[in-house]
Structure 1
Amino acid sequence: MEPEIAALASAAGTTIVTLMATDAWQRTREGITSLWRRFHPERVEAVAAELDAAHDDLLASHTTGDPDTERELAAEWQGRIRRLLTVRPEVAEELRTLLDELDPRAATAPAVAQQATASGHARIYQAGRDQHVTER
């Protein structure tokens, strides 16, 4: 199961760090700390503090233009997740569920199919989101 653990840890580390700089950060932080709370409750406060420190480091790196910090943080969290999964493989299913919930692609709106027919002097205005029409 080692390759599966490595792949899941890699995806988790990358997702966690990617979402640190988004509006989904609090949900991500809550999800990760809840995993530790269930499987390693004695480490929950330390993990929460480490997540907060990583979040601060990532935001600072965006301000200073440091391109390496995000990659380094992702590797750091991949290692933490891999070690958790190695000791507690039963975490894997909950982690997969959490990652599916946090997946930014899942939060995008579904595709919209629109169809219209016009005849004569009719006009059709369609939009999948905001639309502003100024007629003169």
Structure 2
Amino acid sequence: MDPMVTAAGTAVVSAMATSAWEQARDAVVALWRRWRPERAEQVGADLEAVRAEVLEARRAGDDEAERALAGAWQSELQRLVREDASMVAEVRRLLEERLVPVLPVEERTRIGKLVMKAEASGHARVFQAGRDQHITGS
């Protein structure tokens, strides 16, 4: 599964537990309206139903249930990407511009750990790490 899709599916579910949920939901539904308009209303209804499950999972401290719900939305987004590879850019935009900004700081950090991007050209080297990194030598 594309890491961007994984992060976006997790962010959709995380956003369900925020006060800005309606903004996030509208952004997700808008994505479907642009690419699969015949499914947009159903996606909106599905999001609302899953939100109730997420809120209950959070109340019960059931991290496993929340991870399963995130997995379901990762799969939904992955289907869009499989149908049209250009959707990766749209999913990235959804994640970065609409979902991550509504998340609390601790959730942003968790989502941010899922996606690392780097580009290098020529003889450049890229070093990435999820935490501390110590590089010695040349």
Provide the TM-score with structure 1 as the length reference: 0.69
Separation in 1, partners of 2:42, 2:103: 30
Aligned to 1:44: 40
SS of 1:103's equivalent in the other structure is helix
Gaps of 5+ in 1: 109-136
Distance 1:45 1:91, change over 3 A: same
CA contact (8 A) 1:17 1:74 kept: yes
Q: Deviations over 1:2-27 (max 9, x none)?
A: xxx62111011111111110122111
Higher helix share: 2
* Aligned residues between the structures: 104
Determine if the alignment matches structure 1 residue 70 to structure 2 residue 83: no
TM-score by length of 2: 0.68
SS at match of 2:2: helix
1:103 aligns with 2:105: no
After superposition, what is the alpha-carbon deviation per residue over 1:63-95, rounded to whole angstroms, capped at 9, x for unaligned?
233232110011000011011111022222222
Q: Distance in 1 between matches of 2:28 and 2:20?
A: 12
How far off is 1:40 after superposition? Answer: 0.4
Q: Structure 2: any 5+ residue segments left out of the alignment?
A: 106-138
Alignment partners' CA distance in 1, 2:60 and 2:103? 31
Aligned partner of 1:56 in structure 2 is 52
**2-structure distance, mates of 1:12, 1:87:** 17
Which residue pairs with 1:9 in the alignment?
5
Percent identity over paired residues: 39
